[in-house]
Chain A
Amino acid sequence: MEAFDPAELPELLKLYYRRLFPYAQYYRWLNYGGVVKNYFQHREFSFTLKDDIYIRYQSFNNQSDLEKEMQKMNPYKIDIGAVYSHRPNQHNTVKLGAFQAQEKELVFDIDMTDYDDVRRCCSSADICSKCWTLMTMAIHIIDRALKEDFGFKHRLWVYSGRRGVHCWVCDESVRKLSSAVRSGIVEYLSVVKGGQDVKKKVHLSEKIHPFVRKSINIIKKYFEDYALVDQDILENKESWDKILALVPETMHDELQQSFQKHHNSLQRWEHLKKAASRCQNNSKNDKCGPWLEWEIMLQYCFPRLDINVSKGINHLLKSPFSVHPKTGRISVPIDLQKVDQFDPFTVPTISSICHELDVISTKEEEKENGAESDIKHRTRDYKKTSLAPFVKVFEQFLENLDKSRKGELLKKSDLQKDF
């Protein structure tokens, strides 16, 4: 794979926006079947240009308008905002107070930095294969709840390009949800609470809500490999002291002693589980059973969501297929059927796909002598690169949206007795 050099971005982006960005599919998504008048036209986009120039309230008339502008401006970053009451690029002409954000997808942003207190391999913007499992677990847990508990059908998960994942929930009813309900959904999905100054961030009551129970069951599948092997959370005194901070003081001495005798995290964890399940007579707060064990698992593995990203209807979030200016990676959709196999380090970078395109184009020119029209070339170009499978995932998502929409329209016309 071609190494990515940020200095080459201007040239690479030119090629990307001319030959590779999947405009047709992108427009198909945000137009939502054209059912609501001006839905696309009232959508806010923001561009970050070279030298950190940031422009908000961009809006476009149609796909071709979008294409032209993107090719003209060559944005380093593209964000998607809300659908407003008026065209965002005319918001200054609107009477004060009348320009309002009306609808937007429900979005989630899960960032690896938020787990720095519980991962030993990396910190801040770094990620590696040992800690990426946190994202795998997060996707499984959150997606299950969005689908099974809330009944949301159209969920697009996207790699952010560096250290996390985003989720876009696009159901028609969800786009209309109020800020209060969005906050409520994040609250429902939150289990780890507290900032740097809080040691123990998870407290379970005696009754375990089905959401928590199902999430624990998902974590169980990964815990041994992720926490006890890869992260090795009970490797030495320094690391197991952090676990002991989550456990009642009365158990510390005994655990310290037995940890010394054991040889690895797996053994120590087994021992801790047994000790935690034994009934503690002292404080009436202790329950007999696996609660303590679960609280530790949750603190180390349960997803951490940023409520501010999800609650605001006007919040701007990085667009799928946008390029990450520091890593060069494309924000690609994640195939929900293959979450466990997703490897952020094999996600194509802009330089690698541009290079792939160059190689193929040269070969084609040698073959065809330019018989086919330019346009046809352009629309099939991404298919010749490693971007293709990701666009396919996106197209599957769009198919499902279309199917739902047709179903809804049929229902409505049946009710109105339109034949």
Chain B
Amino acid sequence: MQFLGGNRRKLRLADDQRNACYPHSLQFYLQPPSGNISLIEFENLAIDRVKLLKAVENLGVSYVKGSEQYQSKLEAELRKLKFSYRENLEDEYEPRRRDHISHFILRLAYCQSEELRRWFIQQEMDLLRFRFSILPKDKIQSFLKDSHLQFEAISDEEKTLREQDIMASSHSLGGVQLELESVYKIPFADALDLFRGRKVYLENGFAYVPLKDIVAIILNEFRTKLSKALALTARSLPAVQSDERLQPLLNHLSHSYTGQDYSTQGNVGKVSLDQIDSLSTKSFPPCMRQLHKALRENHHLRHGGRMQYGLFLKGIGLTLEQALQFWKQEFIRGKMDPDKFDKGYSYNIRHSFGKEGKRTDYTPYSCLKIILTNPPSQGDYHDFGFSKRDTLPGSLSEVL
């Protein structure tokens, strides 16, 4: 790509040419863009896409991916930032062009470290998944063909011939009628994750994959390709960075992402004590829900539980004063002497907020840490929450 200083120059193409450039509202970004672009547009596109990907990340945390709210909010965000998302809208050339160019600009910024790459790939995958989910069925086939994926939908006759076998192989089909689902025929080696677990029907070297499972395959393909592309980009980066106009922008972009940092400074005062009960049933992960319930029921938690739950509450925004109030209130309900609480328990709470001892502001435990350290024994409620125990209250089936 060439970069112009000064005046913008938009490329004017005939309508046909414009449509041919971007035949779909989504793409695999196989070809880098060509043409000229001003520095200002370069910067704006990059910033807009970072905004978009951050929105994708936040929506994925706040809502269940694929749920109605998630879908409508993500669509609104795409519309606001003027990126492509849906077919059959008017004048789709510009949004698609913006989508194309901005993706490639961000590759330059996000190829630079393992963490950045992981984040970038994750958001781009979620974005692709969303766009694919709203793609009309009749457009899927041509999109796959244009993306050089050898996925052919089979005819209804072919489906009926194999109906029993496909239904018996594919878990994603449940009680659905096969007539309504598209089934794709792909070379078996392209469906490794499906056939190795016998989750798909194989015949004569082909896997017969229902639409729901195809999405997983497509996303895998996308992730592999993007991962390779980022590695390549990283190698050619020194040449790009030597362009003085670009260096400050790229640095700024990659640092504006601060990663999965749930540091409490950002979140202080965000939760009030009376919200906790309702939040625990609506938004807490099962392990924390279990701990909260046990605390309310027994008016007590053992050390492991206090650590895991206490730090979690800190992470979602409880201040030290709130935490002290919260724990004291609950323990007193369990007929604990207030003085005993002050003597024995409040020190630990202040310690976990970094106000005592070596003054480390502890962060909440990650899932991995919870799984690996300090397994629960009798009388403990701290747990990852997904192990096979029938006694787990609010068990997965109830939860989901």
Contact = CB atoms under 8 A, between A and B. Distances in A.
Contacts of A181: 189, 192
B204 interface: yes
Given A188-B195, A210-B201, 14 more contacts: A149-B203, A150-B202, A152-B205, A181-B192, A184-B192, A184-B195, A184-B196, A207-B168, A208-B168, A209-B168, A209-B169, A210-B165, A210-B169, A211-B202
Nearest to B197: A187
Contacts of B168: 207-210, 213
A209 B201 CA distance: 8
Q: How large is the interface on B (under 10, 10 to 19, 20 to 34, 35 or more residues)?
A: 10 to 19
20 contacts: A148-B203, A148-B204, A149-B204, A150-B202, A151-B188, A151-B206, A152-B205, A181-B189, A181-B192, A184-B195, A187-B196, A187-B197, A188-B196, A207-B169, A207-B171, A208-B168, A210-B168, A211-B198, A211-B202, A213-B168
Interface string A210-239: 111100000000000000000000000000
A151 B205 CA distance: 4
A214 to B, nearest CB: 10
B158 to A, nearest CB: 16
Nearest to B166: A210
B161 to A, nearest CB: 13
Contacts of A151: 188, 203-206
A209 B198 contact: yes
Contacts of A211: 198, 202
A188 B198 contact: yes
Interface of A: 148-152, 177, 180-181, 183-185, 187-188, 207-213
Nearest to B202: A149
B150 to A, nearest CB: 14
A152 B195 CA distance: 15
B123 to A, nearest CB: 26
Interface string B181-224: 00000001100100111100111111000000000000000000
Interface string B9-26: 000000000000000000
Interface string B80-118: 000000000000000000000000000000000000000
Interface in B54-97: none
A213 B169 CA distance: 11
A351 to B, nearest CB: 43
Contacts of B195: 184, 188
Nearest to B189: A181
A97 B203 CA distance: 38
Nearest to B206: A151
A177 B197 CA distance: 18
A148 B203 CA distance: 6
B188 A150 contact: yes
Contacts of A150: 188, 202, 204-205
A210 B165 CA distance: 6
Contact of B189 (A148, A149, A177, A212): A177
B205 A212 contact: no
Contacts of A187: 196-197
B216 to A, nearest CB: 15
B198 A212 contact: yes
A372 to B, nearest CB: 48
